[in-house]
Amino acid sequence: MIKALALAAGIAASFGAPSLLAQDAEDMPDAPAQDAAEEPETLDPDMVEELNAEPGLEIMEAGERELSDFLWLARPLVIFADGPNDPRFVQQMGYIEARPEELLERDVVVIVDTDPSAESPIRTALRPRGFDLVLIGKDGQRYLRKPNPWDVREITRSIDKMPMRQQEMRDQRGL
């Protein structure tokens, strides 16, 4: 779990989001100074490789992916923003960073798109305006769309009400 949190913190940082795992970098000894102008706006390829090698919550850029890539495999949680420094995006990534194991347990993959000019296939399909959080079921249905950040607890409650998740929980209990 600590590795998953560390990966989430690194991913959030790669989008310009301050990590909630460290209180204040200025108060920490030997903490490197961070210059907002030097923050990359895309995921570091090494970070993606490390993320995929570790069993943990998958957080990926929308890129050229399509929603059909996840059909029957995972529940995409798509987070759109007009840039990686959007305060709502930073807040949402902080929520995810704080509780990734609950999303992982529910087969969620987090897809982020902070570049409106790239016009990714997912952005084209969902047509967000500014910050937008969209939860899609394994069946491809759009179950939730919110213009503001949502806590992981609220997201998981919505997931647990989905028919396929209800069946998964029954199967886990052996009913």
Over residues 32-91, the pLDDT tens digits come to 444 444 444 555 555 445 444 456 899 999 999 999 999 999 999 999 999 999 999 999
What's the confidence (pLDDT) of residue 142?
96
Q: Tokens for 163?
A: 């028919």
In order, the DSSP letters of 40-82 are: -SS--HHHHHHHHHSSS-EEEE-TT--GGGGTTT-EEEEEE-S
CATH class of 2-21+39-173: alpha beta
What's the confidence (pLDDT) of residue 174?
82
Over residues 91-118, the pLDDT tens digits come to 999 999 999 999 999 999 999 999 999 9
What's the confidence (pLDDT) of residue 89?
98
What's the confidence (pLDDT) of residue 46?
54
Cα angle at 22 between 16 and 23, to 5 degrees?
Answer: 105
Over residues 134-175, the pLDDT tens digits come to 999 999 999 999 999 999 999 999 999 999 999 999 999 986
On whether the pTM is more than 0.75, the answer is: no
* 3 or 60: which leads in pLDDT: 60
